[in-house]
Amino acid sequence: MQTTIFSNRKPELTARSKKLLALQTAFVVFISLLLTGAAQANERKLVIYTYESFTSEWGPGPAIKTAFEEKCGDCEIEFVALDSSAGILNRVQLEGKSTKADIVLGLDTNLMALAEDTGLLATSGVDTSNLQMPIDWSSDVFVPYDYGYFAFVYDTETLAEPPTSLKALAEAPDDLKIIVQDPRTSTPGLGLMLWVKHVYGDEAPEILEKLSAKTLSVTKGWSEAYFNLFLNGEAPMVLSYTTSPAYHMAIDKTDRYQAAAFSEGHYLQVEVAALLKDSKQQELGRDFLQFLISQEAQSALPLTNVMYPVADIGDALPAEFSKLVTPAETRLFSPEEVRDNRKAWIDEWLEATTR
């Protein structure tokens, strides 16, 4: 009798157990999905499109990433390195609203109007009124983080007396060779074209043609021109920045490489960052832009990006920066002027340099 009772109940208990087990499994899966979703929703990852040298081991990116992640606690910065500032803008334009970028970092004044015209950028929410720059800053979209002046850097061991103006360089003997970059692919290359145009206006093609006669090489980018050619002694002068000698003085411990001071003044470059309008990390993005002009971030820039900081960093500014060329005049077109004339001016450059 007991055996019969046991036999009749065993299947019933097993079925209940299976049902209970299925319910428990479903509950565990449900909770797991909730937790996974919550974790994903709470993930604070900031994707930043920038240029390659910014993210390199000797660039400012690694130090800025570490410092900001320590401050935000639960966030992560992911840098996406592209070949140039123009490449950054082209990438977000192609991706449009589907871009993974939260921030673009590395555009400059020459690209600001084009970038703003895309409609993809948001206001920064950052107060830039106390920044120390050679120009007044009024943009509520772009946050400047460093600046510099284009210049021809020369090797003092092969060129004792460099030209003292753009005109003097243009009229120097053709055996004085220079290395420059292409304005279609390089920020300094575009800077040289704008520099000559700003100084000489309608006479710019004549100056550009004369400079072309002295040009040993026109490279796609700055690194190839500076590191691969100039520092290997291929030519005594290269298009770079007035700040380039500071790196050699501070890191290489040599005064060999200096920037030639030109009497017409030097063309200014201001590098900027901006928040994407469709970023899902608006608050974190604005926090990063604010951090970018903080003492901590700014102090990392002089000898990594080799540019002037936009904030007063006091003694953190290397002493070598006090030895650099001070431009007689700051040259700069407005972002709108560059946007409206860039194609025509590049065509003018092409015609002048291919005669």
Please report whether residue 299 resides in a domain. yes
Domain containing residue 201: CATH number = 3.40.190.10
- Asked if 135 contacts 335 with a C-beta cutoff of 8 angstroms, the reply is no
Domain shared by 342 and 301, yes or no: no
pLDDT at 7: 39
CB-based burial, 110-147: b 16+ in 10 Å, e otherwise: bbbbbbbeeebbbebebebeebebeeeeebebbbbbbb
- Asked if 309 contacts 129 with a C-beta cutoff of 8 angstroms, the reply is no
Distance separating alpha carbons of residues 214 and 207, to the nearest angstrom: 11
Please report whether residue 25 resides in a domain. no
Domain shared by 240 and 301, yes or no: no
In the predicted model, what is the mean pLDDT of the chain? 91
> How many angstroms separate the Cα of 16 from the Cα of each of 11, 12, 30, 338?
9, 6, 21, 77
pLDDT at 5: 34
What is the DSSP secondary-structure string of 67-83?
A: HHHHHHSSEEEEEEEES
Three-state SS letters, 11-37 = HHHHHHHHHHHHHHHHHHHHHHHHHHH
Domain shared by 123 and 255, yes or no: no
Amino acid symbol at 38: A
Domain that holds residue 198: 148-268+326-353
Domain shared by 260 and 276, yes or no: no
121-145 pLDDT, tens digit per residue, is 999 999 999 999 999 999 999 999 9
Please report whether residue 187 resides in a domain. yes
This prediction's pTM: 0.87
Domain shared by 294 and 342, yes or no: no
Domain shared by 263 and 169, yes or no: yes
Domain shared by 70 and 110, yes or no: yes
CA neighbours within 13 Å on the CB side: how many for 253? 0
Domain shared by 167 and 278, yes or no: no
Domain shared by 161 and 239, yes or no: yes
Please report whether residue 75 resides in a domain. yes
User: Structurally, how many domains does the chain consist of?
Assistant: 2
304-323 pLDDT, tens digit per residue, is 999 999 999 999 999 999 99
